[in-house]
Amino acid sequence: MHPAPAPSGPHRSLKTLFRELPAAEVILTFAADALINHLAVTPAIVKAVAPLDLSATLLEKLIQDRHNHGGRALAQRTLRPHILEKTGATYCTPFFIRPELSRRSLWFLHLSKRLIARDVIVHQHWRIHNTFEHDGSGGLDMMGWDPLKESATMPLFNFGELDESQMHGQLLDSMPQELFALAADNPVTVEAIHHQFANRTAARFEDLNKVMLRLREEGEIQILDPTGKARSRSLRRLRPNDRIAFTDTLFLPGMSRVR
């Protein structure tokens, strides 16, 4: 049985909303555990998920994945890009609320088209960390943990102090190569880097900036002002229009974080 798209649905309304009001923000909540537990290709379920405009292939994949270890993480990996595409949103925070009493997870998605809106909501996740969690890491591979390929126990990210420390280490390890791919030929603004990483990490932009400042201290990158002049070595805060650059003289064999 093939799920038929509804003649009109929430995703179409949201696409119109984001097109006509680019500064709009939307919060969606899904009963994630209930969705995974009850998925089936039956008339009732097909009707229930019709507003999501799921194709038959996508629905069957979700049903197949729910029986695997990490079914919730697999559902998230499948649904999140689908929701971004259907709603026209640019940024999405894909974290879960785990109520203390019911222990039944709600998937909490914040959708927006503005960088600042994405960063504000991520700050809230860090501030109210007692009920928010994420299946995966907080680094740039936030959505990359695949329970079908990874033999290790699925990491659980809770926005706590230990998570923050581990996240900074992961970012310090992965960002140099990513920055090199973006800025090896031409300098790239800090704002553009925030855009590139916004949907890939639980980090606040200030976390990304701290890592870039650390990389500058290590000699991995240069930080330039909009005119191309190197910013002061005493710099402690990055501006959106600052630019990240590399030069041929930065790297010594075996001494760079860039692989």
Query: pLDDT, tens digit, for every residue of 77-130?
Result: 778 888 898 899 999 998 888 776 666 778 889 999 999 999 999 999 999 887
188 φ, ψ (degrees, to nearest 5): -125, 140
pLDDT at residue 149 in the model: 56
End-to-end CA distance of the chain: 49
pLDDT at residue 133 in the model: 85
pLDDT at residue 169 in the model: 94
Q: Is 5 left (phi over 0), alpha (psi -120 to 50) or beta?
A: beta
pLDDT at residue 3 in the model: 43
pLDDT at residue 2 in the model: 45
Mean pLDDT by 10 residues, the chain (259 residues): 48 90 92 71 67 71 66 72 90 84 78 97 90 83 61 75 94 94 95 96 96 94 95 92 83 63
Considering the domain delimited by 167-250, tell me its CATH architecture. Orthogonal Bundle (1.10)
Nearest residue to 54 (alpha-carbon basis) of 88, 110, 6:
6
Alpha-carbon gap, residue 168 to 98, rounded angstroms: 24
On whether the CB atoms of residues 66 and 78 are closer than 8 A, the answer is no
Alpha-carbon Rg of the chain, whole angstroms? 20
pTM: 0.83
Alpha-carbon gap, residue 20 to 127, rounded angstroms: 31
Across the chain, where does the E strand assignment appear? 25-30, 91-97, 106-112, 132-135, 156-157, 188-189, 222-224, 243-245
Alpha-carbon gap, residue 119 to 93, rounded angstroms: 9
Beta bridge partners of 108: 29, 95
pLDDT at residue 213 in the model: 96
What are the boundaries of each domain within the chain?
10-158, 167-250
pLDDT at residue 63 in the model: 74
Share of the chain above pLDDT 70, in %: 75
On whether the CB atoms of residues 72 and 95 are closer than 8 A, the answer is no
Alpha-carbon gap, residue 82 to 169, rounded angstroms: 30
Q: Which two tokens stand for residue 23?
A: 């500064």
User: Can you list the pairs that 53-58 forms with residues at least 24 positions away whose Cβ atoms lie under 8 Å?
Assistant: 53/5, 53/6, 53/9, 53/11, 53/86, 54/3, 54/82, 55/3, 56/1, 56/2, 56/3, 58/82
Alpha-carbon gap, residue 133 to 126, rounded angstroms: 10
Helices 71-87, 56-65: crossing angle, 10 deg rounding: 160
DSSP secondary structure, 71-102, as one string: HHHHHHHHHHHHHHHHH--SEEEEEEE--TTT
